[in-house]
Amino acid sequence: MATQQAIQVVLASRPATPRASLENFRVETVSMPVPSAGQVLVRIDTLSLDPYMRGRMNDSKSYAKPAEIGQPMPGESVATVLESSSPEFVPGDIVLVQAGWRSHAALDAKGLKKLAVEGFNASAYLGVLGMPGFTAWSGLEVIGKPKAGETLVVGAATGPVGSLVGQLAKHKGLRAVGIAGGEKKCAYLLDELGFDAAIDHRLPNFADELRSACPDGIDVYFENIGDAVWNAVVPLLNQYARVPVCGLMAQLSGKLSHDTSKDYLAQTMRAVLTRSLQIRGFINYEFTEQYFDAFIREVSALLREGKIKHIEDVTVGLENAPQAFLDMLDGRNFGKVLVQVSA
């Protein structure tokens, strides 16, 4: 029958430039995986696409092993159990899995996490209640140490991380300023997410606009862009400002300006010294053991009470995942990027 076939998207080649392209991926039809004893066969419902995956395409020292050529791209998904030889799962269970860019997978039961879906779509566990949400919460809380009355700036502010960072900051009494690409995203930040100001990083006078939006300077800058945005932020950072560094989208996209008109590294280090700044890179899982429960408690309550909104940008069909991924790296997504793998 037709379900004996599965599809997957593999890494065909490593990008030769910072900018990845469609040729780096290959969509393959393979035979349906067969679970061995103790394993569970799942159907992937929704795959999460995240910027960190770009790093995995390189064969370089990073916080995670590179993806292998010819193997499925790594990724997290929400899935439905089809067959189970494990006493812990029955067909129909909704689970969180690390199965990569695939339509089906046979997985060890211990790697699966059953999801309690009460009042949420299961896909929330890929975004606001998942890795991006915890990245936002832990970077803000543990490194950003936000205090009421302070000013927070966050880039990629309609993205799954940035949108939660800004909304959490508002709930804690901070002034929240979002940076995003284009008028539509900026309007959304103001009208739907309650940000105090929203600046389009594509504006030629971006640095001036940012300065106007931060009359008392910046106390927490949640960094996920880098490059020209960072250079505009640095002069505005207040004494003892905190900078959780969560991502550098500008580097991932391969569109680095490398502006040599000024020694921007010297500007950065001088600001660090004279204003006692803290810059701290992090990966959410460094904080999982200590803080994940507190995160789920706080954010799921806010979500249930309707005090936090989340946006999903859904592409239909696993074969369209590579293009959706490249669009995300170019900032063309609007919200958490998901791929609907099965109807």
The residues of the shown chain that bind a second copy, judged by CB under 8 A, are 55, 61-63, 223, 226-227, 230, 239, 245-248, 251, 256, 258, 260, 263-266, 268-283, 286
Query: In what helix (H) or strand (E) does residue 256 lie, and over which residues does it extend?
Result: none
How near is the Cβ of 49 to a second copy at its closest, in Å? Answer: 19
CA separation for the pair 260, 258 (Å, rounded): 6
**Contact of 56 with 72, CB cutoff 8 Å:** no
Nearest to 226 by CA among 253, 208, 200: 253
How near is the Cβ of 272 to a second copy at its closest, in Å? Answer: 4
Specify the 3-state DSSP secondary structure of 337: strand
Please say which residue, 29 or 60, places its beta carbon nearer to a second copy.
60
Please say which residue, 45 or 223, places its beta carbon nearer to a second copy.
223
Please say which residue, 58 or 320, places its beta carbon nearer to a second copy.
58
Helix 288-304 and helix 160-171, axial crossing angle in degrees, nearest 10: 80
**Contact of 120 with 189, CB cutoff 8 Å:** no
How near is the Cβ of 145 to a second copy at its closest, in Å? Answer: 13
Please say which residue, 102 or 242, places its beta carbon nearer to a second copy.
242
Helix 288-304 and helix 131-138, axial crossing angle in degrees, nearest 10: 100
How near is the Cβ of 249 to a second copy at its closest, in Å? Answer: 11
How near is the Cβ of 240 to a second copy at its closest, in Å? Answer: 8
Please say which residue, 248 or 299, places its beta carbon nearer to a second copy.
248
How near is the Cβ of 266 to a second copy at its closest, in Å? Answer: 6
Specify the 3-state DSSP secondary structure of 300: helix
How near is the Cβ of 291 to a second copy at its closest, in Å? Answer: 15
Which residues does residue 221 pair with via DSSP β-bridges, in sequence order?
153
**Contact of 111 with 261, CB cutoff 8 Å:** no
Output the six-digit token pair for 44.
């992937």
Please say which residue, 18 or 317, places its beta carbon nearer to a second copy.
18
Burial class (CB in 10 A: 0-12, 13-18, 19+), 172: middle
Please say which residue, 180 or 271, places its beta carbon nearer to a second copy.
271
Other beta carbons less than 10 A from residue 186's beta carbon? 22
